[in-house]
Amino acid sequence: MKKFNVFSLARETMRGHTGWGKQWRNPEPKKQYDVIIVGAGGHGLGTAYYLAREHGIKNIAVLEKGWLGGGNTGRNTTIIRSNYLYDESAGLFDHSLKLWETLSQELNYNVMFSQRGVMMLAHNVHDVQSAQRHINANRLNGVDNEWLTPQQAKEYCPPLNISKDSRYPVMGAALQRRGGVARHDAVAWGYARQASDMGVDIIQNCEVTGINRAPSGEVTGVETTKGTIGAKQVGVVASGHTSILMEMAGVRMPLESFPLQALVSEPVKPIFPCVTMSNAVHAYISQSDKGELVIGGGTDSYVSYSQTGSMHMLQEVLDSIIELYPIFNRLKMLRTWGGVVDVTPDRSPILGKTPVKGLYVNCGWGTGGFKATPGSANVFAHTIAKDEPHKINAGFNLDRFRTGRLIDEAAAAAVAH
């Protein structure tokens, strides 16, 4: 595999970019693998990468029903932060954030991780209390998060409307400076390229249609649109489609899949320097390197796999954006799209073993799993390789819904994205 750097780029420039070679192979599936990962999103590809890199397992297939990176990895608003409340969450997301910080170098692929700061706005006393609770917990967990007055928030984000007369005046904000955004597609491609180079077979246009189990119960492989493929271990990393896959193995999941839309504006010159989000005025926004404002909000209220959403949800999110940033009213929506997000009852992911031997699941990231991509993949690889969870993901087990030991970030008043 050719190393990506300015010298190779210069050399290739001289010869018309004819020598780059493929970023990943497009192999036909083998009959048998050690591990099959279902779903070539960031989490799935990353899992394969870490299995190969850190655990020496190389006989791996990643099966993808469409094109790699085409699930939620390819349709999210790319907000990355780790200022979660609970120890478990902060542990997981900050593990991830640390990996983000060197991911471009590690993958030799510029994922354009941009730590421009994520600011969460407070609009009432309750928001302020909740923000302080987060900030204090984060500080003692070693996660950066700081309180800004409305004026400081405005300095950090000049388009913000902090007028006292607005319907939801800004009472302050919590800022995580290490937070930011990344180029979503590049994350999938970077992992795919390295995984493929280490021998992982990424098989696209290969939908898993069944999970095969031995009479004694353990997993033996999968049925796919490209035939039967054997494996001792199967990791399901299919985000919105997890319930369907797990049902193939007879496991019912505490998940519902909702449509979540995002949209971009036409590109404009740099005007929005950071990422902001708000729970009371539900919307989030950043500006991409190409200049579009990237905007998201809440999900539709009903289960859907259609990858589209409703007109009124677009209106809701734009109402909120314009309330906070009235200068953007004349900007134009360029494109809107939808994803299918799998939501758990406590809004925290499920990441671990299942009642079926050899079957592992990584799901429930809902509206906020892009930020977790490297961390989640990293500990999930550990879980598969060792057949037991890493201490970072131990709490995110499936059992918690029976015991009641939830990790309820939502109940603690922070909506996750």
Please give the residue ranges that form the binding site for ligand FMN (CB under 6 A): 74-76, 78, 184, 264, 288, 290, 292, 294, 307, 334-335, 337
**CA-to-CA dists, residue 248 to 210, 211, 221, 253, angstroms:** 5, 6, 12, 12
Short-list 189, 192, 244, CA closest to 74: 189
Angle, to 10 degrees, between the axis of helix 184-197 and the axis of helix 42-55?
40
Cβ proximity to ligand FAD, 41 vs 117, nearer residue: 41
Residue 365 within binding range of ligand FAD, rule CB under 6 A:
yes
Cβ proximity to ligand FAD, 261 vs 265, nearer residue: 261
294, interface contact from ligand FAD, another protein, ligand FMN, none, CB < 5-8 Å by kind: ligand FMN
Residue 370 within binding range of ligand FAD, rule CB under 6 A:
yes
- H or E stretch covering 260: strand 256-265
Cβ proximity to ligand FAD, 29 vs 41, nearer residue: 41
Segment near ligand FAD (CB under 6 A); pick from 27-35, 150-158, 260-268, 398-406 = 260-268
Take residue 71 and report the two structure tokens written for it: 């699930």
Residue 18 within binding range of another protein, rule CB under 8 A:
yes
368, interface contact from ligand FMN, another protein, ligand FAD, none, CB < 5-8 Å by kind: ligand FAD
Residue choice 33, 93, 100, 328 for contact with another protein (CB under 8 A): 328
330, interface contact from ligand FMN, another protein, ligand FAD, none, CB < 5-8 Å by kind: another protein
**CA-to-CA dists, residue 247 to 254, 350, 363, angstroms:** 12, 16, 14
Take residue 238 and report the two structure tokens written for it: 């299919």
In degrees to the nearest 10, what's the CA dihedral of 229, 235, 239, 243? Answer: 80
Take residue 269 and report the two structure tokens written for it: 């010159």
Cβ proximity to ligand FMN, 179 vs 352, nearer residue: 179
Segment near another protein (CB under 8 A); pick from 45-53, 54-62, 107-115, 219-227 = 107-115
Residue 321 burial (10 A CB sphere; 0-12, 13-18, 19+) = buried
Which residues from 129-168 bind another protein, rule CB under 8 A?
Answer: 129-137, 139-142, 161, 166-168
Beta bridge partners, 278, equal 121, 283
Take residue 226 and report the two structure tokens written for it: 């490209």
Contact indicator for 291, 267 with CB cutoff of 8 Å: yes
Q: What secondary structure letter does DSSP report for 140?
A: H
Burial 107-126 (b: 16+ CB within 10 A, else e): bebebbbbbbbbbbbbbeee
Residue 51 within binding range of ligand FAD, rule CB under 6 A:
no
Contact indicator for 109, 190 with CB cutoff of 8 Å: yes
Closest approach of ligand FMN to the CB of residue 317, in Å: 15
* Residues in binding contact with ligand FAD, number by CB under 6 A: 40
Take residue 370 and report the two structure tokens written for it: 């892009």
Report the distance separating Cα 305 and Cα 77, nearest Å: 19
Residue 241 within binding range of ligand FAD, rule CB under 6 A:
yes
Residue choice 35, 73, 83, 173 for contact with ligand FAD (CB under 6 A): 73
Residue choice 28, 56, 125, 216 for contact with another protein (CB under 8 A): 125
Closest approach of ligand FAD to the CB of residue 232, in Å: 19
Structural Rg of the chain based on CA atoms: 21
Residue 207 within binding range of ligand FAD, rule CB under 6 A:
yes
Contact footprint for ligand FAD (CB under 6 A):
38-44, 63-66, 70-73, 75-79, 207-208, 237-239, 241, 245, 260-262, 296, 339, 341, 365, 367-371, 417
